Amino acid sequence: MSILIDKSAKVLVQGITGRQGGFHAKLMMEYGADVVGGVTPGKGGEWFEGKPVFDTVRTAVQTTNADVSLVTVPARFAADAIMEAADAGIRLVICLTEHIPVADMMRVVAFCRARGARLLGPNCPGVMTPGQAKVGIIPAMVATAGNVGVVSKSGTLTYEVGFAMKNAGIGISTIVGIGGDPVIGTTFVEVLEMFENDPETEKIALLGEIGGSAEIVAADFIKNAMTKPVAAFIAGRSAPPGKRMGHAGAIVDGGEGSAEEKIQALEAAGARVAANPEEIPGLLA
């Protein structure tokens, strides 16, 4: 088992004829993901690497029975693309796109909830279940199959930690990038709950950063509802307050969201917090 995706996921790529979408669709197929087709409005009827391209997600789902969709379209069109997927009955929508306005995302999250679709992201690297499938841009080389679940706000930091775990001989059940934006579809707590219930996952690594209070809420959940051990790292200890650090979410204002308060909350919840992400494998051993 694993969470969110495995070999059986039938994957659509929205924006498959774009540069990024096409590049990553190929890598996903090489990895073993079952990419059943793509969607680009106006390019229905074309083919991409032997897979059909559709004008709409609805026709793509009717033809291919896809249940997962990867959104790679530019920010101006991404909110609409996510809603289109949710409306077509897609179970899991994964959005890589960054710079989507927050107001759009608040409406989109409410819409996905009403349609019963799970949204991951936006501005996230996607999901990878090592040895089975990946949907998104996580490089294949950063993980081998195993029993540690990884959940993270940040893409490249996740690669860093996955790679350090691999070098230490520690495998991963599923890597989930939830994204660093202020408003996201799936939170730390929801992923922690999935890992807690996944028999293949024995331990969890949580990678957070400054800004917002998602890690504090996660710490509460770890304390009250989890039996599996958690190792964590919080990026941004050296960041000055009031400055936005790239990720729209990574800003410390007033008392909310500093690295210190997140580290304290996680430690109080029994998580082992690393000062250096390359120490995470040691905390999981």
Q: Are 127 and 5 in contact (CB under 8 A)?
A: yes
Residue carrying structure tokens 């990024």? 20
Q: List the beta bridge partners of residue 244.
A: 251
Look up residue 154 and give its amino acid: S
Nearer to another protein, 64 or 186 (CB): 186
How many other C-beta atoms are found inside a 10 Å radius of the C-beta of residue 258? 19
Alpha helical stretches, state H, the chain: 19-31, 57-64, 75-87, 102-115, 155-167, 188-197, 214-225, 259-268, 280-284
Smallest gap, in angstroms, from Cβ of residue 38 to another protein? 18
Q: How far apart are CA 21 and CA 2, in angstroms?
A: 25
Smallest gap, in angstroms, from Cβ of residue 54 to another protein? 25
Footprint of another protein (CB under 8 A): 20, 75-76, 99-107, 109-111, 125, 137-139, 141-142, 152-160, 163-164, 180, 182-183, 207, 209-210, 212-214, 217, 233, 235-240, 243-250, 254-255, 275-278
DSSP string for residues in 220-282: HHHHHH--S-EEEEEE-TTPPTT-B-SSTT-B-BTTBT-HHHHHHHHHHTT-EE-SSGGGHHH
Active-site residue 247, yes or no?
A: yes
Nearer to another protein, 64 or 123 (CB): 123
Catalytic residue among 61, 247, 257, 269: 247
Nearer to another protein, 10 or 247 (CB): 247
Smallest gap, in angstroms, from Cβ of residue 171 to another protein? 19
Nearer to another protein, 60 or 78 (CB): 78
Smallest gap, in angstroms, from Cβ of residue 55 to another protein? 25
Instruction: Cite the active site residues.
Output: 247
